[in-house]
């Protein structure tokens, strides 16, 4: 995993984990890699992974079953989807609108570009 120097590593690990949940690789209620295994996989200090797991556990995305390991929560996907949508609408969408305004793009041009994007990804 390539880390961005402008964002805390533990938050980037959380995003990595959110992506695994959203794409279905880690379904609701499934056991996930241990802290140690995740640290080895991502080549980071286990303390950094511990910080991420603690944060995700506090927000309810992960559950720690003592002596067994960490699991995604029963509603992890819905939680992550809700969080990501809220973050997108709050921070990324305003930037998007600002950019299309600066570039003088119309909603029709955006719609056509979106349709093209969907067609290209349906082929994959």
* DSSP string covering 28-76: TT-B---HHHHHHHHT--HHHHHHHHHHHHHTTSEEEETTTEEEE-TTH
* pTM summary value: 0.82
- Tens digits of pLDDT across the chain (124 residues): 788 889 999 999 999 999 999 999 999 999 999 999 999 999 999 999 999 999 999 999 999 999 999 999 999 999 999 999 999 999 999 999 999 999 999 999 999 999 999 999 887 6
Residues contacting 59, CB < 8 A, separation 6+: 79, 83
Can you give the pLDDT at residue 54?
A: 98
């Amino acid at each position: 995993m390539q880390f961005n120097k402008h964002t805390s590593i533990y938050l980037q690990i959380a995003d990595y984990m959110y992506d695994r949940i959203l794409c279905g690789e880690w379904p609701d209620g499934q056991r996930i890699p241990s802290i140690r295994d995740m640290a080895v996989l991502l080549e980071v200090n286990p303390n950094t992974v511990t910080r991420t797991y603690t944060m995700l556990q506090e927000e309810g995305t992960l559950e720690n079953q003592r002596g067994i390991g960490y699991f995604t929560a029963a509603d992890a996907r819905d939680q992550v989807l809700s969080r990501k949508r809220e973050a997108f609408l709050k921070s990324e969408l305003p930037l998007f609108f600002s950019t299309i305004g600066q570039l003088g793009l119309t909603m029709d041009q955006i719609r056509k570009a979106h349709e093209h994007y969907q067609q290209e990804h349906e082929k994959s």
